[in-house]
Structure 1
Amino acid sequence: MQNRKLIAPFFAAALLSLTAASSFAADAATAQADKPTVTQKAAVAVDDSVITAKVKSALVSDKEVSALKINVTTKQGVVILTGAVPNTEAGDRVIKMVAAIEGVKDIQNQLQVKAS
């Protein structure tokens, strides 16, 4: 009888420990699910570089804008364009070309009009 009295508190403590541990593990799993993995980060970087390459390729292949000096960077699908264009029409043409490229989420137009 006395053994049962001693075992009951230990059993209850063990049960509480298991409950707390499983709750902690669930919280840790949820927190990990919210954080991007290394693979996911690499996929975003690859996607960004692919988008940048597509934009640069489109700019080079277009006879009207290929001679323009436009710098292209991409961060999480947002294309950032810097450089100079000779007029607003050329800038608008570049924006339309970039907007048509698959994977582009947004465009930050930092192009400046500088007549040559």
Structure 2
Amino acid sequence: MKHLIRFFSAFFLTLVLVAAVGCASTQTQEGTGEYVDDSVITSKVKTAIFSEPSLSSAEINVETFKGVVQLSGFVNSRADINKAVAVARGVGGVKSVKNDMRLK
């Protein structure tokens, strides 16, 4: 009976460790927690950009990977690009902003 309990304990511990390693992040892949954090950051940046009156009609796409926000799409002026980058930088959790926006 003791051997059976030890076997199941070892098996359960191994299963937990494998699951934890499977959720870990690498340089090119996010962990589960980072994915959720990035989704929240993306939503906050999109909301902040949409709430900005001068940017609400712009076609700006937002993607986030490990706290780095990438802005892409089309805007009407250089001022709109600068404003969108400034708004994105002002959102909590944003480590840096990559600008890939283009003028219409």
TM-score of the two chains, using structure 1 as the length reference:
0.64
Give RMSD over aligned pairs. Answer: 2.0
2:81 is the alignment partner of 1:96: no
Question: Which amino acid in 2 is paired with 1:48?
Answer: D
The number of aligned residues is 81
Of 35, 47, 51, which aligns to 1:45?
35
Q: Identify the residue that residue 63 of structure 1 maps to in structure 2.
A: 53
Query: Which of the pair is proportionally richer in helix?
Result: 1
Change (3 A) 1:99 1:39: same
Cα separation, 2, equivalents of 1:76 and 1:51: 10
Cα separation, 1, equivalents of 2:52 and 2:43: 14
Cα separation, 1, equivalents of 2:73 and 2:40: 21
> Helix, strand or coil for the counterpart of 2:94?
coil
Change (3 A) 1:36 1:99: farther
Rg comparison, structure with higher value: 1
Cα separation, 2, equivalents of 1:43 and 1:37: 12
Structure 1 position 49, deviation (Å): 0.2
Cα separation, 1, equivalents of 2:101 and 2:43: 18
Cα separation, 2, equivalents of 1:111 and 1:59: 13
Of 82, 85, 89, which aligns to 2:75?
85
> Helix, strand or coil for the counterpart of 1:72?
strand
Structure 2 unpaired stretches of 5+: 1-16, 26-30
Of 91, 103, 110, which aligns to 2:100?
110
Structure 1 unpaired stretches of 5+: 1-31
